[in-house]
Amino acid sequence: MKFPLQRFMLALLSLSFVQAGSAAAQSYPNRPIRLIIPWPTGGGTDVTFRLWAPQLAENLGQQIVIDNRTGAGSIIGLDIVAKSQPDGYTLGASNISFGANPFLRSKMPFDTEKDFMPVSLTALVPMVLTVHPSVPARSVKELIALAKAKPGALSYGSAGNASASHLVTELFIDVTGAKMLHVPYKGGGPQNIAGVGGEVAVLFVTIPAGIGHIRNGRLRALGISTLKRDPTLPDVPTIAEAVGIPDFQVSEWHGVVVPAGTPKAVINRLHQEIVKVLTMPEVKERVAKVGSTVVGSTPEEMAAYLKRELSRWSRVIKAVGIRLD
């Protein structure tokens, strides 16, 4: 049978890509890796990634340099990732804003679905509804009643537009009818400072970022955002049980993405090492102590999760009517 020259050349080209990918995986990594976290230090995403990144560096035998590139609801940092060389030496930390930003803005500097490749979901992080101790509400129901009685009098802080705290609070407002004023900050750290200082009355915070303030009495916890109570705050009811909204369930999540075009062999190596780290008992315990649950999904499982997040926030944002431009 004749073998057309064009098909022969394509076969050779495909073989060369496979060999190149295999060679890249065998030598990877041979220099430091940059992990871009598109939120400031001190926020929930930053805190959780820093709990296990040093162990990943040790396992890979290369330094992992954490680079906080903040702004525009994570878009600035993720844009750097999207436009980086797809060689496995630039990783991006993604979270809930990854699935919401495309529907909050009319123009994005990258295509969320095409310009990234998933590596692994790393954690699910429940959020907790808190108030400053000066707020005369000791339950979720009392807070809703207060917000309805004085529409706009209560302010809520967020880690910025499109942050988890912004999205979850707007969802809470939509399903409960509470009326509160949004005050965005430049990250979870500044948001928490504002909440502790009484600059804003209400905060939805990730448990890793807020648990210390809750335990010290600087914030009062009213409700958990998931359907099950969290073992780190066992006395705090879920919002679903506190208000009787059985389907109120939302979590911050964390994951690792790389630029589109990164060799599959390199992604597989990263995935294997990340999962290995996340399943270490000491890492799981460390992460659990701050209120997060490690995941360690496959790239395919993360891709399916991202698809569901994009669908979910498309519906919610349209219903609530949030626009950032």
Residue 292: inside a domain: yes
* Chain CA centroid to CA 206, Å: 10
What pLDDT, on a 0 to 100 scale, did the predictor assign at position 6?
A: 56
Any domain includes 264: yes
Q: Which of 199, 223, 243 is the last residue of a domain?
A: 243
CATH number (domain holding residue 164): 3.40.190.10
The CA distances from residue 43 to 2, 93, 164, 189, in Å, are 62, 13, 11, 5
What value does the mean pLDDT take over residues 154-178? 90
The verdict on 87 and 181 lying in the same domain is no
Q: Sign of torsion, CA 177 182 187 192? A: negative
Q: Say whether both 88 and 144 belong to one domain.
A: no
Between these two residues, 20 and 217, which has the higher pLDDT value? 217
Q: Same domain, yes or no, for 136 and 237? A: yes
Residue 122 confidence class, pLDDT cut points 50, 70, 90: very high
**Using one digit for the tens of pLDDT, what is the confidence trace for 306-317?**
999 999 889 888
Say what the pTM is.
Answer: 0.79
Q: How confident is the model at residue 55 (pLDDT cuts 50, 70, 90)?
A: very high
Containing domain of residue 232, as a range? 126-243
Half-sphere exposure of 170 (CA within 13 A, CB side): 24
> Is the confidence at residue 120, as pLDDT, over 50?
yes
Domain-ending residue, one of 209, 243, 277: 243
Residue 254 pLDDT > 70:
yes
* Confidence label for 15 from pLDDT (cuts 50, 70 and 90): low
Q: What percent of the chain has pLDDT over 70?
A: 92
In a domain, 189, yes or no: yes
Mean pLDDT of the chain: 90
Query: At 102, which CATH number?
Result: 3.40.190.150
Amino acid 1: pLDDT: 44
Q: What is the per-residue pLDDT across 269-281, written as a single tens digit (0 to 9) for each?
A: 999 999 999 999 9
Tell me, yes or no, whether 325 lies in a domain.
Answer: no
Task: Indicate if the pLDDT at residue 5 is higher than 70.
Answer: no
Q: In the predicted model, what is the mean pLDDT of residues 3-23? A: 53
Number of domain units in the chain: 2
207-246 per-position pLDDT tens digit: 878 889 999 999 999 999 999 998 889 999 999 999 988 8
Question: Is 89 part of any domain?
Answer: yes
